[in-house]
C-alpha cells in the first residue's frame, strides 16, 4: 500500500470528494493563495500547503480565498451549508475560534434542533491545533474539549494519515457540522493510505494496541505517544491497550468502558488543559460506569493549566510526553488498593 | 412602477396580518400566556413586506430577534408560527425554537436570530450557494440598527463585495438598540458605510411601503443580475418595547402615539390607494376583518394544541448520531 503523509492524505480526501460531489467547495485564508496578487496563483495552498493544487484543478469558484475575517467566512460556510452546498472551511489555527465562535456554536450547532429538525448544516471546519511548533500561546492550543461540549457539533481528531483521509471523507459526507482537528506537528508523518476513497465512521474507537494490564485512552497526536509507550512496555511483558477514540463527539463510550473494565487500570492522555478536558470527561465516565471493575484510580496525563509557552525549553516540559505517559502507566500498575 | 390590484391587496393583507399577529402576541404575553422573550415588529411592516414581495422560495432571508414580520412576509405558515410562539409540538419548529429562532428553510426563511449580527455572515453563505449553483436567487440580511454596529455585519459587507455576492443588507433602524438611540450608537451613516465598502447605499422612509418596495426592486434586480451587494437603510418606528415587558421609559413623551397617528405604514398605504382610487375602503375594511378573525382562530388553535413531550427532548440534535 502506498505511503502518504498526513498532509497528502488530507489533500487527497479533499480532491476526491470535490471530484465526487460538485457541491463540495473550499474556503479560507490563503487556501489557494495569491488572490489578486501579481505573483503566482495557488501561491500557498494553505499556510502549510495542505490544500496545494486544488485551486488549479477546481478553479477559484470552488476554492475560495477569503479576507482575514473569520466571522464572515465561517458564517458564510455555515449559511452555504444550510442552503445546499457542502463547504469545507479552513480555520487556519483553532486558536482563532475566538473571532468566529458564534457562527459555530450558536448558529451551525443549533440550527437542526432550534428549527425542529428541518435544517441540515453539512459544513466541515478544518483547523490546525496542538503544541510543538514553538508557536506560543495563540497558535498552539488544543481546544477540542470546548467544541466537544457543544451539542450539535461533531469533533474528529485523526491520529495518523490513514485516519485523516477516512475521517475527513466521512466528515464531508456527514450531514452534521464537523470540526476536524489536524495536528500541526503531524503533517509530515507517513502511514499507509489506500488510493481509493474510504470512510472511517464516527463514534467508533480504534484499538491500536491490545494488552491485558492497562488501558490508555488517547486522541490525536497522543495516540502515537501512547503506542510508543505500549511498544516499549511490551518488551517488559506489560500489556497495554491503546484506545484511539478518533472522535470526541460522538464518543465511543462502549469501547472505552469495555476496555477499562477488562484491564481495570486506566490512563487517559489528552494534550489539552486538565480542567473540563477530554481526560477529565473520560475519567469521570470510567469512574461512574465501571467503578467496581477498577483496580486503581484513573490517571490523567494532560498539559498543565497554563497557556502554551514559547521557549523550546518550556514547551518541551509543557506537552504530555511518552515519558509522562509511561510514568502514569507504571503508577496505575503499582497501585495497591 | 405601478402595482397590480392583486399585488396591492397582497401587500396590505400581509402588513395587516403582521400587525394583527403582533398585537395579539402582545396581548397574550401580557396575559401571561406566552413563555420566554418576544420582540414585536408592529410599526415596521412595510420593510418586511416591501422587500419580500420581490422574492420567491429560491431567495433566502435571515432575520433578527424581531423576526415575526419577516417570517410572515416570506410566506411562513402563520398558524404554525403562532403555535411555535406558544411552545407547541406542531409549531413551526416543533416548539424547540420559539419566537427568537422561528424559521422555515423550505420557504427560504433562515431564522430569526437570538444573536445580534448573527444573520449577515449566514446570508453571505446563502448568496454564495445561489451564485455557485446558479439558482438566480438572492439573499437578504435584515439587521437592526444595533446589529449594524456588529463586526459580523461589517465583515459581511466586505466579504459580499469582494466575492460579488447577490446579497442585500437591510438596516432596519427603529431608532433604538434596546434602549440606546441609534442617533448616538451609530458612528457615521449607514449609507456612508455602504459607500466605504463600494456598495450602493439607499436611505428610505420605512413607514412608506411604496418607497421601500421601489428601492427593494432596484437592489434585488441588481443582485439577481450579478451586480453585487447593496445596502438599504430603512428608518421607522417600533410601537412596542425592545421586548415585551419593556416599559419604554427611554422614549420621548407621546413619541409612539404621535408617529402611529401620523406615519403609520398601514394608514399611509390606505390613504394612498384610496386617494388614487386603486382600492376601495370597503375592500381594505374586509381584509382587516378577515385578518383579525384569522389571527383569532390561529391563536385559539395554538393555545389548544398539545405541548411537546419528553420523547421530543433529545430528537434532532443531530441528523445522525454516529
Q: Does B61 touch chain A (CB under 8 A)?
A: no
The CA distance from B318 to B322, in Å, is 9
Calculate the average pLDDT of chain A. 97
Max Cα separation, chain A?
70
Within 10 Å of residue A203's Cβ, how many Cβ atoms? 19
Q: What is the pLDDT of residue A285?
A: 98
The CA distance from A46 to B167, in Å, is 27
Domain span at B261 = 5-313
**ipTM of model over 0.90:** yes
- Chain A positions touching B121 (Cβ under 8 A) are 71-76, 78-79, 103
Using one digit for the tens of pLDDT, what is the confidence trace for B48-71?
999 999 999 999 999 999 999 999
CATH 1.10.3720.10 correct for A206-334: no
- Return the number of CB contacts < 8 Å for A and B: 161
The CA distance from A119 to B103, in Å, is 9
In this prediction, residues A95-116 reach a mean pLDDT of 97
Extract the C-alpha cell encoding B214. 421601489
**To 5 degrees, how large is the angle CA A108–CA A112–CA A116?**
145
The CA distance from B87 to B303, in Å, is 9
Within a domain: B141: yes
Please judge whether A76 and B104 are an interchain contact, meaning their C-beta atoms are less than 8 angstroms apart.
no
Residue A84: partners with Cβ closer than 8 Å, 6 or more residues away: A23, B129, B133
The CA distance from B31 to B268, in Å, is 31
Q: Which fold would CATH assign to domain A3-192?
A: Rossmann fold (3.40.50)
The pTM for the full model equals: 0.97
Q: Does B44 touch chain A (CB under 8 A)?
A: no
The CA distance from B2 to B25, in Å, is 34
**Is the Cβ–Cβ distance between B145 and B172 less than 8 Å?**
yes
Q: Report residue A337's pLDDT band, with 50, 70 and 90 as the boundaries.
A: confident
**Minimal CA–CA distance to B182: which of B251, B100, B229?**
B251
From B128's Cα to the closest Cα of chain A, the distance in A is: 6
Is it true that the peptide bond before A250 is cis, omega within 30 degrees of 0? Answer: yes
pLDDT greater than 80 at residue B107: yes
**Is the Cβ–Cβ distance between A180 and A96 less than 8 Å?**
no
* Domain containing residue B286: CATH number: 3.40.50.970
Q: What is the pLDDT of residue B2?
A: 87
| Residue in the structure block whose three cell numbers are 477499562 | A260
Q: Which of A79, A84, A98 to mutate to test the interface with B (most CBs of B within 10 A)?
A: A79
**Minimal CA–CA distance to B167: which of B151, B154, B181, B156?**
B156
Extract the C-alpha cell encoding A322. 511518552
Q: Of all residues in chain A, what percent carry a pLDDT higher than 90?
A: 98
Within a domain: B222: yes
Q: Does B166 touch chain A (CB under 8 A)?
A: no
Q: Which of A73, A76, A107, A170 to mutate to test the interface with B (most CBs of B within 10 A)?
A: A76
Q: Is the four-CA dihedral A163, A151, B311, A258 of positive or negative sign? A: positive
Residue B64: partners with Cβ closer than 8 Å, 6 or more residues away: B39, B70, B112, B113, B116, B119, B142, B143, B144, B147, B172
pLDDT greater than 90 at residue A245: yes
**Minimal CA–CA distance to B157: which of B168, B146, B143, B172?**
B168
Q: What is the pLDDT of residue A41?
A: 87
Within a domain: B210: yes
From A52's Cα to the closest Cα of chain B, the distance in A is: 21
Q: What is the pLDDT of residue A46?
A: 93
Locate the domains of chain A by residue range: 3-192, 206-334
- Chain A positions touching B113 (Cβ under 8 A) are 107
Q: What is the pLDDT of residue B117?
A: 97
Catalytic positions of A = 139
Within a domain: B145: yes
Within a domain: B318: no
Measured between alpha carbons, how far is residue A69 from residues A49, A59, B61, B192, B321 in Å? 20, 22, 22, 21, 32
Using one digit for the tens of pLDDT, what is the confidence trace for A41-72?
899 999 999 999 999 999 999 999 999 999 99
Q: Which of B94, B104, B320 sits opposite A117 (nearest CB)?
A: B94
Within a domain: B321: no
Within 10 Å of residue A196's Cβ, how many Cβ atoms? 6
Using one digit for the tens of pLDDT, what is the confidence trace for B79-104?
999 999 999 999 999 999 999 999 99
Q: Report residue B322's pLDDT band, with 50, 70 and 90 as the boundaries.
A: confident
Within a domain: B322: no
Within a domain: B178: yes
Q: What is the pLDDT of residue A230?
A: 98
| Per-position b or e across A283-293, b if 16+ CB within 10 A of its CB | bebbeeebeee
Sheet holding B139-144, edge to edge: B60-62, B139-144, B167-173, B230-235, B201-205
Q: Of all residues in chain B, what percent carry a pLDDT higher than 90?
A: 99
CA of A24: which chain B residue's CA is closest? B132
Extract the C-alpha cell encoding A95. 486558536
pLDDT greater than 70 at residue B1: no
- Chain A positions touching B110 (Cβ under 8 A) are 79, 82-83
Using one digit for the tens of pLDDT, what is the confidence trace for A128-163?
999 999 999 999 999 999 999 999 999 999 999 999
Please judge whether B111 and A69 are an interchain contact, meaning their C-beta atoms are less than 8 angstroms apart.
no
From B250's Cα to the closest Cα of chain A, the distance in A is: 30
Number of domains in chain B: 1
β A178-183/A154-156 pair status: parallel
Amino acid at each position: 500500500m502506498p505511503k502518504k503523509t498526513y498532509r497528502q492524505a488530507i489533500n487527497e480526501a479533499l480532491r476526491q470528494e470535490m471530484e465526487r460531489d460538485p457541491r463540495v467547495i473550499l474556503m479560507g485564508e490563503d487556501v489557494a493563495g495569491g488572490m489578486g496578487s501579481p505573483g503566482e496563483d495557488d501561491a500557498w495552498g494553505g499556510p502549510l500547503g495542505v490544500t496545494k493544487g486544488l485551486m488549479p484543478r477546481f478553479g477559484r469558484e470552488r476554492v475560495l480565498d477569503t479576507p482575514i475575517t473569520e466571522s464572515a467566512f465561517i458564517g458564510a460556510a455555515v449559511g452555504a451549508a444550510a442552503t445546499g452546498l457542502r463547504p469545507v472551511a479552513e480555520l487556519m489555527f483553532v486558536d482563532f475560534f475566538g473571532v468566529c465562535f458564534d457562527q459555530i456554536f450558536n448558529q451551525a450547532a443549533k440550527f437542526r434542533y432550534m428549527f425542529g429538525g428541518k435544517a441540515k448544516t453539512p459544513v466541515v471546519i478544518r483547523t490546525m491545533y496542538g503544541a510543538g511548533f514553538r508557536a506560543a500561546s495563540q497558535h498552539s492550543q488544543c481546544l477540542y474539549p470546548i467544541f466537544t461540549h457543544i451539542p450539535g457539533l461533531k469533533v474528529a481528531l485523526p491520529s495518523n494519515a490513514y485516519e485523516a483521509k477516512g475521517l475527513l471523507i466521512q466528515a464531508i459526507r456527514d450531514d452534521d457540522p464537523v470540526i476536524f482537528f489536524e495536528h500541526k506537528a503531524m503533517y509530515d508523518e507517513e502511514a499507509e493510505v489506500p488510493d481509493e476513497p474510504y470512510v472511517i465512521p464516527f463514534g467508533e474507537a480504534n484499538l491500536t494496541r491490545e494488552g491485558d494490564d492497562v488501558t490508555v485512552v488517547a486522541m490525536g497526536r497522543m495516540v502515537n505517544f501512547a503506542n510508543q509507550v505500549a511498544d516499549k512496555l511490551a518488551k517488559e511483558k506489560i500489556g497495554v491497550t491503546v484506545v484511539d477514540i478518533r472522535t470526541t463527539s460522538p464518543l465511543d463510550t462502549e469501547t472505552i468502558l469495555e476496555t477499562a473494565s477488562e484491564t481495570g487500570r486506566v490512563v487517559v492522555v489528552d494534550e489539552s488543559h486538565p480542567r473540563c478536558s477530554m481526560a477529565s470527561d473520560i475519567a469521570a465516565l470510567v469512574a461512574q460506569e465501571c467503578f467496581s471493575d477498577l483496580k486503581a484510580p484513573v490517571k490523567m496525563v494532560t498539559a498543565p493549566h497554563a497557556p502554551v509557552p514559547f521557549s523550546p525549553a518550556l514547551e518541551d516540559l509543557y506537552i504530555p510526553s511518552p515519558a509522562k505517559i509511561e510514568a502514569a502507566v507504571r503508577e496505575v500498575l503499582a497501585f495497591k488498593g | 412602477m405601478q402595482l397590480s390590484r392583486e399585488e396591492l391587496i397582497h401587500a396590505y393583507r400581509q402588513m395587516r396580518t403582521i400587525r394583527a399577529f403582533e398585537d395579539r402576541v402582545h396581548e397574550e404575553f401580557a396575559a401571561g400566556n406566552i413563555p420566554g422573550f418576544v420582540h414585536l415588529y408592529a410599526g415596521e411592516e412595510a420593510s418586511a413586506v416591501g422587500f419580500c414581495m420581490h422574492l420567491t422560495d429560491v431567495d433566502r432571508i435571515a432575520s433578527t430577534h424581531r423576526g415575526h414580520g419577516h417570517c410572515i412576509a416570506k410566506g411562513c405558515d402563520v398558524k404554525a408560527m403562532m403555535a411555535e410562539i406558544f411552545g407547541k409540538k406542531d409549531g413551526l419548529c416543533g416548539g424547540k425554537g420559539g419566537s427568537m429562532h422561528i424559521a422555515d428553510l423550505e420557504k427560504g426563511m433562515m431564522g430569526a436570530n437570538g444573536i445580534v449580527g448573527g444573520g449577515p455572515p449566514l446570508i453571505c453563505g446563502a448568496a454564495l450557494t445561489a451564485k455557485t449553483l446558479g439558482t438566480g436567487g438572492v439573499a437578504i440580511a435584515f439587521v437592526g440598527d444595533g446589529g449594524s454596529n456588529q463586526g459580523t455585519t461589517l465583515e459581511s459587507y466586505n466579504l459580499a463585495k469582494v466575492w460579488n455576492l447577490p446579497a442585500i443588507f437591510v438596516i432596519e433602524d427603529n431608532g433604538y438598540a434596546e434602549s440606546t438611540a441609534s442617533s448616538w450608537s451609530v458612528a457615521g451613516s449607514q449609507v456612508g458605510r455602504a459607500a466605504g465598502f463600494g456598495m450602493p447605499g439607499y436611505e428610505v422612509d420605512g413607514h412608506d411601503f411604496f418607497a421601500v418596495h421601489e428601492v427593494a426592486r432596484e437592489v434585488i434586480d441588481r443582485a439577481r443580475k450579478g451586480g453585487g451587494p447593496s445596502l438599504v437603510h430603512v428608518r421607522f418606528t417600533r410601537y412596542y418595547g425592545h421586548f415585551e415587558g419593556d416599559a419604554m421609559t427611554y422614549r420621548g413623551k407621546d413619541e409612539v402615539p404621535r408617529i402611529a397617528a401620523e406615519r403609520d405604514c398601514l394608514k399611509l398605504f390606505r390613504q394612498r390607494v384610496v386617494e388614487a382610487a386603486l382600492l376601495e375602503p370597503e375592500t381594505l375594511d374586509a381584509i382587516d376583518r378577515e385578518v383579525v378573525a384569522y389571527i383569532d382562530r390561529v391563536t385559539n388553535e395554538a393555545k389548544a394544541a398539545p405541548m411537546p413531550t419528553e420523547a421530543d427532548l433529545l430528537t434532532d440534535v443531530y441528523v445522525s448520531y454516529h
